[in-house]
Each structure stands twice: as structure tokens, then as C-alpha cells.
Amino acid sequence: MKSDPNLYDYWPYHNRPKIKWPGDKKVAFWVAPNIEFYELNPPTNPQRKAWPRPYPDITPYSYRDHGNRVGHWRLMEVMDEFGVRGSVSLSVAMCQHHPEIIEACNERDWEFFSHGIYNTRYIYGMDEAQEREILLDSIKTVEEATGQRIRGYLAPALTHTEKTIDLLAENDFWYSCDLFQDDQPQPLKTSGDSKLISMPYSLEVNDHYAFNVYGQSARQYADLLKRQFDQLLEEGTESGTVMCIPLHAYLIGRAHRIGPFREVLDYITGHKDDVWVTTAQEIAAHYREHYYDGAVADIAKYAKGDGA
């Protein structure tokens, strides 16, 4: 086991090479609906149980199922209203279970990336071949269902192995949402010579944290998101930042929450001159083309100890 994951080097958040988003926009804004399928009776991973009570643990199961039956449709309508395309963090088995949702997203030109097969199948304990199989299954499943080649990954339930990041690089993924060390994209160190980057996923402004960890109201969460945006916009005048809103339809799509969230999208997309409303894949493509090499060179200065 490693005490340092060694997936990236230290890179202080100042004096970095300036990022400009297309159209000179200051904040790249993307929304990540987690469209997940949780199994009622999954096999038990030795390191993590899916549900606390004996089978069938119907409350947490149906709590999440609400997202696919109700919440998703509300959320999609609000995103349509403000022209925000989702970058979907997808339990790819959704392509088999609920193709209606996949088709609706695909028609809207939303992006899909892999969030594992099911959110009840954890990566802990997998060998390299098994973990690779998850990625290959994801690529194939989404391609067959939508015609899209996925380029991004967020491990199911944020469960990883030491190999995860290398396997993404090996399979021509462009970005990983698995690491939360920064508000700007940056290169990851991998075994191959891929241009895999770390995509800011803003985990701390996830609706799950707001509602189920911090116990916030929908109004408080909406205010938090606006403040998050204001700060990243201010900093984006110096160098482009990324703001992601990671969501779960079973949380944000509730009747009492969608209203305040609508105001957030209204507020953010209202900053037309400053905000690039986009998808994770478009951010990754732009970054890899224009800023990847410069970032590698700048980070190397710190490794040599002369960066200060």
C-alpha cells in the first residue's frame, strides 16, 4: 500500500499558466446528473455492504429509485429550460434497465461517462483484469445504446484500486472525476503516455453532501451554489476555472427542491459573457489540446524545487 497515491504532483493554486475557455469565458460550467441503478439484492463485496438491513432493504432502495421514476424528469425539464446539457455519471446497466431515460438524454445531446455498471458493485478487491472489464463493458454498453464513445469515469460509489487511474489511461479515457484536489483540470501521472486529466467534479458541492451530510435546506444549497459560482467567476478572471454541480435526481429532483435549483441555473446561465455552459468532455478536449503540455512543464518546475 502507498502512503502517497502519486497520481499528480504538487501544484500551488497561484501563478499557473493562464487558461482561457472558448469565447474568453471565465468559468467552464458543467452539470453532472448521477443516473444510477442500485440493485435490491447485489452480491456482497467483502469490503462494503450495499444496504444496512437484511434483504429486502426497501427504504434506501426505493429512496434512490425515486430518481429514475420522478426526479430525473423534473431535473431534465429544468436543464432544458436553461439550455444546460448534462454530463451523465451513468451506472451503465441503466442502458438495459431504463433505456427510456438514456434515449431522452441522448436526444438532447447530453454526454455520458461511466460510473460503473451498478452503484452497488464496488471496485474494492477486484484484480486488474476485472477492473479492466468494468471499463470495457462501460465503453461497449454506452456505445451500443447511444453511439457515444465515453471518455470519462467516476468510479462507482467512489471505490478504487491502485490500478484505476492507469487503466483509464490504457483505455483512452480523457478524464477522471475521481480526484478532488483542485478547481482546475490538470494532467495525471499514468504508466502510459496518455493525456489523461483530472476533471474538477466539485464533490463538496454535491447535493448528497448538502442534504444528507450537512442537513441543508434547498434554499441554503441554492445560496451555496451561487456563492461557489461567484468565487470561481472572480478567480476565473485570472485563469479559467471549472465549476461542476454533481447531482442525484433522487435528491435534487424532489418537489420541494427543484424550485430553488431552477433559480441557480437561471443565475449561472444568466452570466452569458462569462460562463461556458458545456460538458466535461468538451472541457477535457479543450484542455488537452491547449493547456496540457504547458501544465506539465509548469508542474515540473515545482518538482525541481525552483517553483516558489
Partner 1 sequence: MTLDKSYLEYENRSLGMDHDRYDFSNMFERKPVSWPDGKKVALWITVSLEYFPLVPNDGPFKAPGHMVTPYPDYRTYTTRDYGNRVGVFRILKVLDKLGLKASFPMNSEIATRYPSLLKEITDRGHEVVAHGENMNKIHFGGMAKNTEAEQINNCVKTLREKSGQGVTGWQSPARSQSENTPDLLVTSGLGYVCDWVNDDMPYYMRAKTGTIIAMPHTMELEDRNLLVTLGQSEEVYKEQILAAFSQFQREAMAENGRVLHLALTPYVIGQPWRIRTLVETLQAIADSGDIWSATGGEIAAIWDSQQTS
Question: Which residues form the interface with partner 1 (CB under 8 A)?
Answer: 1-5, 7, 10-14, 47-48, 124, 158-162, 178-183, 203-205, 213-216, 220, 224-225, 227-228, 230-232, 235, 302, 305, 307-308
Q: Among candidates 148, 80, 64, which has minimal Cα distance to 114?
A: 148
Specify the 3-state DSSP secondary structure of 243: strand
Q: Among candidates 186, 147, 191, 148, which has minimal Cα distance to 167?
A: 191
Specify the 3-state DSSP secondary structure of 58: helix
> 170 vs 235, which CB is nearer to partner 1?
235
Please report how close the Cβ of residue 161 comes to partner 1 at its closest, in angstroms.
7
Q: Among candidates 82, 102, 81, which has minimal Cα distance to 37?
A: 102
> 162 vs 293, which CB is nearer to partner 1?
162
∠ CA 38-180-220, rounded to 5°: 75
| Torsion sign across C-alpha atoms 158, 159, 161, 163 | negative
In the chain, the largest separation of any two C-alpha atoms, in whole Å, equals 59
> 5 vs 294, which CB is nearer to partner 1?
5
Please report how close the Cβ of residue 304 comes to partner 1 at its closest, in angstroms.
11
> 45 vs 62, which CB is nearer to partner 1?
45
> 95 vs 205, which CB is nearer to partner 1?
205
Specify the 3-state DSSP secondary structure of 30: strand
Please report how close the Cβ of residue 197 comes to partner 1 at its closest, in angstroms.
14
> 160 vs 254, which CB is nearer to partner 1?
160
| Cα–Cα distance for residue pair 89/110, rounded to 1 Å | 11
Please report how close the Cβ of residue 239 comes to partner 1 at its closest, in angstroms.
12
Please report how close the Cβ of residue 193 comes to partner 1 at its closest, in angstroms.
22
Please report how close the Cβ of residue 14 comes to partner 1 at its closest, in angstroms.
5
| Cα–Cα distance for residue pair 280/60, rounded to 1 Å | 29
